[in-house]
């Protein structure tokens, strides 16, 4: 992932994304760059306009929270109590972040 971040940093700085530049950025970050990984990333980025890709990148929208039940009688006045929806077991922040660790190493 740090290789991609290095390429994005070079792109943001307006510098060419090439092997010497990427290796220098990674070394400055305290890493020992693997030349095979650098070359693989450069090959995958060949012909890709990062500025265009980043401009078109979609952002993830968070769904709005469901409205709380009003607890009142229904419109007919029958006084029937609506069943409360069962709470769905949500994923905790810790559980969600466990999957992210696979991306970083």
Distances from the Cα of 6 to the Cα of 2, 18, 46, angstroms: 6, 11, 15
Question: 53-97 pLDDT, tens per residue?
Answer: 888 887 655 566 666 666 655 555 555 666 766 665 666 666 666
End-to-end CA distance of the chain: 7
Q: Is the pLDDT of residue 19 over 60?
A: yes
Contact call for residues 51 and 11 (beta carbons, < 8 A): yes
Contacts of 96 (CB under 8 A, 6+ apart): none
Question: Cα dihedral angle (17, 23, 29, 31), rounded to 10 degrees?
Answer: 140
Contact call for residues 19 and 3 (beta carbons, < 8 A): no
**pTM given for the model:** 0.53
Looking at the chain, the number of H-run helices and the number of E-run strands are: 5, 0
What domains does the chain contain, in order, with CATH numbers?
2-54 (1.10.10.1410)
Residues 41, 60: Cα–Cα separation, whole Å: 25
Question: 20-65 pLDDT, tens per residue?
Answer: 999 999 999 999 999 999 999 999 999 888 888 888 887 655 566 6
């Amino acid at each position: 992932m740090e290789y991609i971040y290095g390429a994005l940093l070079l792109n943001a700085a307006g510098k060419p994304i090439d092997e010497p530049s990427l290796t220098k950025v990674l070394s400055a970050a305290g890493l020992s760059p693997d030349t095979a990984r650098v070359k693989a990333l450069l090959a995958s980025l060949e012909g890709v306009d990062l500025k265009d890709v980043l401009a078109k990148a979609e952002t993830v929208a968070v769904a709005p929270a469901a409205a709380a039940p009003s607890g009142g009688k229904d419109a007919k006045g029958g006084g029937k109590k609506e069943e409360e929806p069962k709470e769905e077991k949500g994923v905790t922040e810790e559980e969600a972040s466990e999957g992210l660790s696979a991306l970083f190493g």
